[in-house]
Structure 1
Amino acid sequence: MTGIGTGQGAGTAAVFRETTAEPRTQSVPLAQLSLELGHLYMEDFEAGPDRLRRHFAEVKPWADAAQALAAAGGRRARVSTCFLVDDYFTRFSTPAELVPMLIAEAERAGLVIDYLARESGCAVADGIEVAEEVQARLVESPPPGTDGTRPPAVQTGWLANGERSPGGPAQEAMAGAEPWRPPAETAARRHSVFVDVELWDRQGERRTWSCPFLAAVWQLSRLGLLRHAGDPVLQPVPWQGTDFPHDWDDLPPVIRLNPSAAPFSAYRTCSFLPSRFLPVELAVRVILDQVDADPAALAQVAARSLGEGRPVPEEIADRMSYVFYPGP
């Protein structure tokens, strides 16, 4: 046991405690900006290289603009890029076939993919139930007048940004039942934009996390805020060579393709996505507005960004930005 004394003078007593019991949260390297160059689903792959070619051609001018903005004022900017592949909802193709095609089409457009991530890693990574741990950090914001009759999101699998409409015709027919009223956003600006997000569903005993919830985990990772017992989660593994496995499970959740890349996590994120992702990303904001992220990780990011003259917003969701293009 290592002792830590509080004093040696008369009338004082030394207090000893286990240093191993001291809470610690490991920091992670941080870029200033993380650019998500895309998110690939099975239908995008099935459409062939032309679909990817059009996507990267759309992204290129916006990626250039984001990097120029990060370096505004002559500042040296640390900017990394990433690409997310959906291997969670549908297993398609193989890393051996898909990754070289992704890299080639990005390079054709003048882009470099620094990091490649698997969406299944946002659910479970290296034996850690990542999504389960993020769900445990949900702190729902109950609207005024909530009576506690509705089970919490961890039981129902639904999370809202305000007060839901009470009951329906069946309840209204009951004596003393509360009449219908419209839903209300908790932080509405005159008119409500009410959103109710499905976090997961079940088929038998198997829980399937929703796309918005996994995307929220993905954003927390890119913002350097994911921890398990104080250790970083979803950290990139360097990938050497051009040979990739034939099974997605043989590929680490996040790999670093570019040895000279800036850090994977960053103070802020920007994602370039087809407009069909807009409702998903709105749901991501609803989720992150109610996540109680690791306070030590938050403090580390806040202190380091402030020290560089690039302070981050207090709200996690305000650290994210997007470019949505029409897309297929």
Structure 2
Amino acid sequence: MTEPASTPASPSASASASVFRETTAEPRTESVPLSHLSLELGHLYMEDFEAGPERLRRHFDRIRPWVDAVHADATARANGKRPRISTCFLIDDYFTRFSTPADVLPMLLAEAERAGLSIDYLARESGCAVADKVPLAESVANRLVESPPPGSYGLRPPVGQTGWLANGDRTPAMRGAQAMKAATAWQPPRETAARRHSVFTDVELWDDDKDGHRTWSCPFLAAVWQLARLGLLRNEGEAVFQPRARPSGEFPREWDELAPLLQLNASAAAFSAYRTCSVLPSRFLPVEHAVRVILDQTDVHPGALRQVATRSAQEGTAVPESVVDRVSYVFYAGL
């Protein structure tokens, strides 16, 4: 489809001169509904579910006071208005398939309800890799932009070749003494944004098996999960990882028969939100630090960012410019 667009006429131009542009070439970004806060009530491993309802009960009992505190903080941020808060839970079905949804999910929901908590949305971690045939993880990997450390000269291979992403300058490879050359002295790694002393992190994003099949790492899938919760994922401008209604009757017997993102509460606030908060066991702290390294070097979809900025301004809701600053956590020790 084309449409005429008027242009200023030059002295030698005809008054009827016009140019044509393809309106279909204008980028279109589908919008998604947004809550004020996406609150994650857990992300447990296979062994946690295998331990039975008692383990789940301890988890939900431990997080309940922190959930109340997060609600209070969100209310204070809302300047007297009632904040829109949705809750979610991530099931790890990517690295190990265990039991069945029909066996696991009723137990999970029952223990959450027993603690006075409601799970609005249930997500499968495998959906952070591929959801509805859209390769979400690969799409995010293609948007990684490494931050070159000061003084670096591009000696290390890019993240697309290595599958590793760092928040600074790695230790140079040691080289033994050769004829007429001195041995290279050891140098420490350096964090790019260090405050006097470095906290250097090097994150493995994926590995490949002998057939070239890529297995995404837990931190990388968790970064995709955060982008989904922030409403910042798009595929050719189209919204992805959108919730589906809970099916009637029992949950399916196979994980692949379960939607990547399931809406359990029909009256819940929107899944995606301006900010996220995750209440997790402290063993996830290294993973989530890696998530922040990844998000800090991801070129997020500009159209999605503009939509969030426009809508948050219309609502009078302050949203940090940096994506990583929109993510927060509560970590508790033990389980």
Counterpart residue number, 1:201: 207
Counterpart residue number, 2:45: 41
Q: Which amino acid aligns with 1:112?
A: S
Separation in 2, partners of 1:155, 1:53: 43
Counterpart residue number, 2:127: 121
After TM superposition, the structure 1 = structure 2 runs for residues 288-299 of structure 1, keeping only pairs within 5 Å, are: 288-299=295-306
Counterpart residue number, 1:135: 141
Counterpart residue number, 1:50: 54
1:44-96 deviation per Cα after TM superposition (whole angstroms, max 9, x unaligned)? 00110001001011111111221122122421110000000000000001111
Counterpart residue number, 2:259: 252
Separation in 1, partners of 2:16, 2:87: 56
Asked whether the 8 Å contact 2:60–2:112 carries over to 1, the reply is yes
1:74 partner SS: coil
Counterpart residue number, 1:68: 72
Q: How far did residue 233 of structure 1 move?
A: 1.4
* Residues 6 and 273 of structure 1: CA distance in aligned 2, closer, same or farther (over 3 Å): same
- 1:191 maps to 2:197: yes
Asked whether the 8 Å contact 1:201–1:209 carries over to 2, the reply is yes
Counterpart residue number, 1:302: 309
Choose which of 289, 297, 314 in structure 1 pairs with 2:321. Answer: 314
Q: Which amino acid aligns with 2:255?
A: W
Counterpart residue number, 2:2: 2
* Residues 130 and 177 of structure 1: CA distance in aligned 2, closer, same or farther (over 3 Å): farther
Q: Which amino acid aligns with 2:221?
A: L
- 1:261 maps to 2:268: yes
Q: How far did residue 297 of structure 1 move?
A: 0.5
Separation in 2, partners of 1:92, 1:188: 41
Asked whether the 8 Å contact 2:177–2:184 carries over to 1, the reply is no
- 1:59 maps to 2:46: no
- 233-242 vs 24-33, greater mean Cα deviation: 233-242
Q: How far did residue 8 of structure 1 move?
A: 9.4
Q: How far did residue 162 of structure 1 move?
A: 0.3
Counterpart residue number, 2:36: 32
Separation in 2, partners of 1:55, 1:94: 21
Counterpart residue number, 1:85: 91
Asked whether the 8 Å contact 2:93–2:125 carries over to 1, the reply is yes
Counterpart residue number, 2:176: 172
Separation in 2, partners of 1:176, 1:161: 29
Separation in 1, partners of 2:145, 2:105: 38
Asked whether the 8 Å contact 1:172–1:180 carries over to 2, the reply is no
Instruction: Give ranges in structure 2 of 5+ residues lacking alignment.
Output: none
- 95-104 vs 212-221, greater mean Cα deviation: 95-104
After TM superposition, the structure 1 = structure 2 runs for residues 221-240 of structure 1, keeping only pairs within 5 Å, are: 221-240=228-247
Asked whether the 8 Å contact 1:166–1:179 carries over to 2, the reply is no
Choose which of 16, 20, 31 in structure 2 pairs with 1:16. Answer: 20
Task: Give the percent of matched residue pairs that are identical in Structure 1 and Structure 2.
Answer: 68
Q: How far did residue 242 of structure 1 move?
A: 4.2
* Residues 12 and 315 of structure 1: CA distance in aligned 2, closer, same or farther (over 3 Å): farther
1:190-226 deviation per Cα after TM superposition (whole angstroms, max 9, x unaligned)? 1100000000112212211000000000000000000
1:229-249 deviation per Cα after TM superposition (whole angstroms, max 9, x unaligned)? 001111111114341110110
Asked whether the 8 Å contact 1:172–1:179 carries over to 2, the reply is no
Q: TM-score, normalised by structure 2?
A: 0.94
Q: TM-score, normalised by structure 1?
A: 0.96
Asked whether the 8 Å contact 1:40–1:84 carries over to 2, the reply is yes
Q: How far did residue 177 of structure 1 move?
A: 5.3
Counterpart residue number, 1:144: 150
1:90 partner SS: coil
Separation in 2, partners of 1:4, 1:180: 64
- 294-303 vs 143-152, greater mean Cα deviation: 143-152
Aligned residues: 326
